[in-house]
Structure 1
Amino acid sequence: MTQTVVPSTSAVLHRDTRFIPKKAIGGKGSYIFLEDGQKVLDSTGGAAVSCLGHGNEKVKKAVIKQINELSYCHSAFFGTQASEDLARLLVDSTGGKLSKLYVSSSGSEAVEAALKLSRQYYLELPTPQPQRTRFISRRPSYHGITLGALGAGGHPLRREPFEPLLAQNTSHVSPCFAYRGKQKGESDEEYVARLAAELDAEFQRVGPDTVCAFIAEPVVGASLGCVPAVPGYFQAMKAVCQRYGALFILDEVMSGMGRCGTLHAWEQEGVVPDIQTIAKGLGGGYAPISGVLIAEHIVQTMDKGTGAFRHFQTYQGHPIACAAALAVQRVIQEENLLENVKKMGDYLEQGLKERLGGHPYVGDIRGKGLFWGIEFVKDKDTKEPFDPAMGIAAQVQGTGLSPGYGISLYAAGGTVDGIRGDHILLAPPFNVSKEEIDFIVDTTVKVVEDVFK
């Protein structure tokens, strides 16, 4: 097993109060080294975070340089070159379609900022629209763990303990999940039209002029297991938002910053969001950082109004985090890693589908770039999931981390309805090699086969 009983001397509140994970003592490239001598290939990048792997020398030097210059200053008083350079790089990467960057420390914080910015935008219009207080998202989406972000999401298990504390201003529509959502004989066009009609009906139900924004992930991460939308879906969703004057927010915390083969996942969808959240691959795990990219029309509205976004944090625009993220993004550019994401992503897809596509308990393999999910089912024909009590995905993850396998496999559940369903995610570094992909495929196959024996 990968967990041991917590010693009485431990002062850490771990994710499970009764167990602690093995201790990681080092990392280099795609590998993490454990205190017991085990070497684990980090095929998930943690939670799709470590886009350059571990111990990148260029990033380490950039962080040390920033620490030597200035480790912290309050953004209410001072700006830094690191934050200016990072913002310029990211704004330019959108071709100027998004014109400002707000920097925070986590994906949840970025979503909180995006929700509040949406609300304030309508208050700052020349003719304010204070009645806009609602949001629409999708089931079983996950947009963050803080109360505002959790309220915006639609994941039943994560919401349930805190439901009495959550704002009641978000409603939810169906995800674009072809494997489980498309009807028999239904074309992509018909499926998109049906989902667009559902979103339109939800606007009508809650009152079209009460909605601030629709928020969705371009490729759904942990809650569904790397589910991309069918062609034309996001164009149709944005059209509904525009019809009713609502904002269109894309949450790219997990799927963005190159993970799906383009720096911004929306580049592949033929749409531009009004607001975009980014995080995990932004800093590659070298420092906690997230961001909100904002369209110019929102910036101009704020500028002509109060000129102040009424949302601020102590570590906003932290110089070390900005320096780390800037170095990560420059490495991605200089080493042409987006091309490697596409190439190795195709190779990973091919290997997974050839080796596991016919497995009796693998229902679906889906994803984009270096962001892939494997869904497990009890019956391939009916797509019936396993009983959640069996913890199938957790068994796969635990087996992978045990000696003799040496691989991280990101387990998650609730694939079907937020409660039932098992899947794992794979999200290796952007600079992963062909040989490492071979190891990932071979070992994942071995783990799955051994678990289902």
Structure 2
Amino acid sequence: MAGHIFGRSTRGQLPTAVAGDGCYIVDADGRRYLDGSGGAAVSCLGHSDAGVRAALHDQLDRLAFAHTGFFTSEPAERLADRLCAAAPEGIDRVYLLSGGSEAVEAAIKLARQYFLEIGQPQRHRVIARRQSYHGNTLGALAAGGNAWRRAQFAPLLVDVSHIAPCYEYRDRLEAESVDAYGQRAADELEAEILRLGPDSVMAFLAEPVVGATLGAVPAVPGYLRRIREICDRHGVLLILDEVMCGMGRTGHLFACEEDGVAPDMITIAKGLGAGYQPIGALLTSATIYDAIAAGSGFFQHGHTYMGHPMAAAAANAVLDAIEGRDLLARVRTQGDKLDAALRARLGQHPHVGDIRGRGLFRGIELVADRETRAPFDPARKLHARIKAEAVAAGLICYPMGGTLDGVRGDHVLLAPPFIIEDAQVEELTDKLSTAIERALAA
């Protein structure tokens, strides 16, 4: 049926989703799809969580919306308190928004205003990493290193420096230890700070586990601690983007916990609302907040729907589920099972180069040749074929191209709901394997 929706693509006809049932989405024809990627690492509680639905009904009966220029609300205050109590050391304030791009945009602007407030107006430069993704607003897109997403908007983007990602599968030398590689990769940050001039750099922005652009690539042990030391030495703020990898996805509420690092700011979204409401947040240190409070007293930023009571109520219910049902431990357990199932089925596949990730955040990188790690010809669009075959098989997954450099390389990202059962782990693995084989045969 022709309609008036301006969708992501003008080509093809999407099925109409009409219902959710645990880890499944049901379309208008009654077809069930196992959500193996949580959409885009969003639906951590599946699609029919009774507790979140009840919390939303309750909040709607009380208060749907109050503009934050006039009011705060109980759900927003409670959510901020809970996030700060669980966050890494030093994090003391929460700026509630509607999604990940907004959170990253706010982080970049807050970093700039912080340095104005403390009398260092010369600091304005951001350093990030190639093959990263930080959102689709112009500031977040500029910070991101996803070449394909950036290309047509390049003339509109502010200048951001990009160093190498921490991408062990591709970049660690054969004779190099993991520790030596991590230090070498981190040292690129210091070299870039010195090249730009330390007094000009305000922030370094990175994903602890790189999501969409690289496919669940975690930093090697020690890398982020070295990054923290470099930032401290040069007075640079460390912003960690946990929009995709945070809120329990890796088995820790904040992914950087596993790396033993406390940043100056953290951005979160996606799993924070589990898809039940649009919500994101910027978490910031007391040091940054206090500088604003002692200076202008006003963060020159804001959005109409920030701190939305309905969204905050949903996020509180999500945290209730994660804490009350011990879902972080479940993510680690089920993540290990998913990793084992993927390795058993695909570990020796001639066109699977790497299987990686943490918790229920897993990536499979596909290669034309395992020995040389050569990627497939981009013209083949293998990732798109895999997506189509997976949907045909009744599986939602997140394949992407341009893994190496924005043009070459293919991977599949998996981020199923935290409630995934053992039988569904097998179903996911079976359907993905089938989709990969059919795509390769096409």
Same fold (TM over 0.5): yes
Show the counterpart of 2:415: 427
Q: Which of the numbers 24, 30, 45 marks the counterpart of 1:31?
A: 24
How far apart, in 2, do the equivalents of 1:329 and 1:386 lie? 41
Structure 2 unaligned segments of length 5 or more: list them.
none
Q: Distance in 1 between matches of 2:169 and 2:373?
A: 9
Question: Is the aligned partner of 1:204 residue 2:194?
Answer: yes
Question: Matches of 1:28 and 1:121 in 2, distance apart?
Answer: 45
- 2:374 aligns with 384
For residue 139 of structure 1, the aligned residue among 110, 123, 130 is 130
Residue in 2 that maps onto 1:4? none
Which residue of 333, 337, 350 maps to 1:347? Answer: 337
- Check the 8 A contact 2:89/2:262 in 1, yes or no: no
Deviations 1:23-77 (A, max 9, x none): 1111110000011221110111100000000111110111111111111111010
Q: Which residue of 2 aligns with 1:193?
A: 183
1:212/1:354 Cα in 2 relative to 1: closer, same or farther (>3 Å)? Answer: same
**How far does residue 203 in structure 1 lie from its aligned partner after superposition?**
0.4
Q: Verify the 8 A CA contact 1:45 1:51 in the aligned structure 2.
A: yes
Structure 2 Cα separation of the partners of residues 263 and 197 of structure 1: 28
Which 5+ residue runs of structure 1 have no aligned equivalent? 1-6
What is the TM-score with the length of structure 2 in the denominator? 0.98
3-state DSSP of counterpart to 2:162: strand
| Structure 2 counterparts to residues 194-273 of structure 1, below 5 A | 194-273=184-263
Residue of structure 2 equivalent to 1:449: 437
1:41 corresponds to 2:34: yes
Conserved in 2, the CA contact under 8 Å of 1:411 and 1:425? yes
Given residue 161 of structure 1, which amino acid in structure 2 is its aligned partner? Q
Give the match's secondary structure for 2:149.
helix
In the alignment, which of 399, 405, 408 is matched to residue 417 of structure 1? 405
Q: CA deviation at 1:14?
A: 1.4
- SS of equivalent residue, structure 1 residue 239: helix
> 1:10 offset after TM fit, Å?
1.4
8 A contact 1:111–1:251 mirrored in 2: yes
Instruction: Name the structure 1 match of 2:150.
Output: 159
Cα distance in 1 between the residues matched to 2:8 and 2:135:
16
Structure 1 runs, 4 residues or longer, greater than 6 Å off: none
Amino acid at match of 1:147: L
- Give the match for residue 67 of structure 2: 74
Shift of residue 420, structure 1, vs aligned partner = 0.9
TM-score by length of 1: 0.96
1:17 CA drift (Å) = 1.0
Quote the Cα distance in structure 2 between the aligned partners of 1:337 and 1:409: 22
Q: Indicate yes or no: 2:273 matched with 1:280.
A: no
Secondary structure of residue in 2 paired with 1:60: helix
Give yes or no for the alignment of 1:90 onto 2:83: yes
- Give 2:328's aligned residue: 338
* Aligned equivalent of 2:428, options 429, 434, 440: 440
Aligned match of 1:16 = 9
Report SS of the residue matched to 1:316. Answer: coil
SS of 1:20's equivalent?
A: coil
Report what 1:305 is aligned to.
295
Following TM superposition, by how much is the alpha carbon of 1:451 offset from its aligned partner in structure 2, in angstroms?
2.3
* Percent identity of paired positions between Structure 1 and Structure 2: 49
Match of 2:96 among 97, 103, 108: 103
DSSP 3-state at the match of 2:395: coil
Total equivalences in the alignment: 441
Q: Contact 2:88–2:257 (CA<8 Å) still a contact in 1?
A: no
Asked if structure 2 preserves the Cα contact closer than 8 Å seen for 1:14 and 1:20, the reply is no
Q: Secondary structure at the match of 2:13?
A: strand
- Give the aligned CA root-mean-square deviation in angstroms: 1.0
Task: State the AA in 2 paired with 1:429.
Answer: P
Report deviation, 1:95: 5.9
Structure 1 position 439, deviation (Å): 1.1
